[in-house]
Structure 1
Amino acid sequence: MSDPRVYTVGWICAISTEHVAARAFLDEIHEGPGIFIGRHHVVIAVLPNGEYGTAFAASVARDMLHSFPNLRISLMVVVGGGAPSHSTRCNGGVFQYDFGKTIQDQRFQTTGFLSQPPMALQTARPAPDRDRLYQSRVVHDSDDDCDCADICGNHPSNLVARRRRLEDEDNPAGHYGLIAAANKLMKDASVRDKLAAEKDVLCFEMEAAGLMNHFTCLAIRGICDYSDTRKNKELQGYAAMTAAAYARDLLDRIPPSRVEREKKTSELLPMSDSISAASHAIVSAQEGT
């Protein structure tokens, strides 16, 4: 592994699917935990297998800073649940909310802020008919392995009617807005709609809130479901690749000299956060030209 002090960009994933997507955009993979995306030295970390949420994200972030003290900018690149049918947003960011109190009161209890190709390629993205938005009253009561069509049905009365996208409209698109982060998944569509309307929320997720006091980062989310009882694992891979592609494009637009001028992340945090280390982080540093 090369000198850990040369790494200036951190990239955190929550699940292995996102880690695989991130590695697909590397220019070179070197031996050792420590490896360039474009012209940047980037270190990639993924949460321990089966462990999710704010506490584990914070642990991985602290461990990353302990091992790579010269990180300047960081990205949290994971999948998340969208709040459907919302207009274009002008403001962005991440805020943390108390999940229990929010569900009970059905209004946000905010606790913090984080400022014609081959067929194989054509079928890489799941078919459009797999993207179903159900009415908020329709609840998926069974386990995640059961298909929503079998449990909830595809009757038009259960679905939200939406215009089918034209061919030139079906490319991935970037949306900028507020992300609501808590330590539990949002699964109640009715509460989702009320909360999304309250603060014009774009996305619900779990991990970013854990980084607010330990790690300054940009949250990038690939949307794979609608923050309801149906968690669409079929779309997770596509969403993870979309988020990773955006992150890669973003890094390509930032000169390394600009990154070097930023303050070290460790200098922006309390001393206790800067020096504490956590166990169980899977860290993969990656280098390209």
Structure 2
Amino acid sequence: MSSPRAYTVGWICAISTEHVAVQAFLDEIHEEPEYVSPNDCNDYTLGKIGRHHVVIAVLPNGEYGIASAASVARDMLHSFPNLRISLMVRIGGGAPSVKHDIRLGDVVVSTPRYGNGGVFQYDFGKTIQDQRLRKRYQRPAPDRDRLYQSRVIHDLDNNCDYAVICGNHPSDLDNPAGHYGLIAAANKLIKDASVRDKLAAEKDVLCFEMEAAGLMNYFPCLAIRGICDYSDTHTNKEWQGYAAMTAAAYARDLLDQISPSRVGAEKKISELLPMYSISAASHAIVSAQEGRGLLTTD
């Protein structure tokens, strides 16, 4: 049995695809915890990444969004009181623009911009415009990265005329790019290119997702998103496995750069609430990484 107080890094994902991805990066898998807080219904995976003891929780099957994520985070903090760094690692929808060349498989990391926090909540509701591990998680073929013009609504027969705005660069296929900026969160999935483009233009949003805003009040965390679609009507699951892997790879790389002594010097997350919006150690490392540009999943 593992002592809950040994774990200093909390990691939350939302779906089983993301949970499988993070487990691929664990150097050690530990036994279940000796005890958890009463009424804690989370299912935990414990292990070690580099020199850090990490506790991982996934949202209940079929339960997504802000409220579910907040509940999982609260229970994790009660059961693992020594957490110092927190990560929310999952897939998300990209918001490519002339300013930000975001492509499928890239990674977006929440970073404060223009006086805003790294994550903000929008409230459009559900806006919809008029096997094997290697097979499931490998990078799809380059011609499967299609960014449609905003006016094009998905044809159920897949006969859409599209313009691939982002293009393809074969030399970069194994080196997804990292982007740093705002992530927009709501309780429902966005499938509207016009809303995507509006928020990208007005707020400089890079990514859309469903949980991070609900975590910030209870589990101040760094949001890391692998881009699996372009937040439009052409959404499919083809890129989810690869995007989950690139996000997990980034998080692994981040933890490798933070020493255990630095983590130990951080205050416990429970002592920081509600005044803190992101772990200082994580934010410092991310700031240093912004100039790196490319990531690898090797």
Q: Provide closer, same or farther for how the CA distance between residues 253 and 161 of structure 1 changes in structure 2, counting only shifts above 3 A.
A: closer
For each residue in 1:5-56, what CA deviation from the matched residue of structure 2 results, as whole angstroms up to 9, or x when unmatched? 1110000001000000000000011221443110001000000011110000
Structure 1 residues 1-289: aligned runs within 5 Å: 1-32=1-32, 33=44, 34-88=46-100, 92=113, 93-100=118-125, 124-140=138-154, 142=156, 150-151=157-158, 153-155=159-161, 158-168=162-172, 171-269=175-273
Runs of 4 or more consecutive aligned structure 1 residues displaced over 6 Å after TM superposition: none
Displacement of 1:2 after TM fit? 1.6
Displacement of 1:168 after TM fit? 4.1
2:59 aligned partner, one-letter code: L
3-state SS of 1:58 partner? helix
2:90 aligned partner, one-letter code: V
Q: Which has the higher helix share?
A: 1
Q: Provide closer, same or farther for how the CA distance between residues 55 and 168 of structure 1 changes in structure 2, counting only shifts above 3 A.
A: closer
> What TM-score results when the alignment is normalised by the length of structure 2?
0.76
1:7 aligned partner, one-letter code: Y
In 1, Cα distance between equivalents of 2:54 and 2:223: 16
> What TM-score results when the alignment is normalised by the length of structure 1?
0.78
Query: Identity over aligned residues, as a percent?
Result: 78
Long gaps (5+) in structure 2? 33-43, 102-110, 128-133, 275-298
3-state SS of 1:99 partner? coil
3-state SS of 1:21 partner? helix
Long gaps (5+) in structure 1? 104-119, 143-149, 271-289
2:29 aligned partner, one-letter code: I
For 1:281, the equivalent position in structure 2 comes to none
In 1, Cα distance between equivalents of 2:212 and 2:112: 17
In 1, Cα distance between equivalents of 2:70 and 2:112: 25
Q: How many residues align?
A: 242
In 2, Cα distance between equivalents of 1:35 and 1:234: 29
Q: Provide closer, same or farther for how the CA distance between residues 69 and 141 of structure 1 changes in structure 2, counting only shifts above 3 A.
A: farther
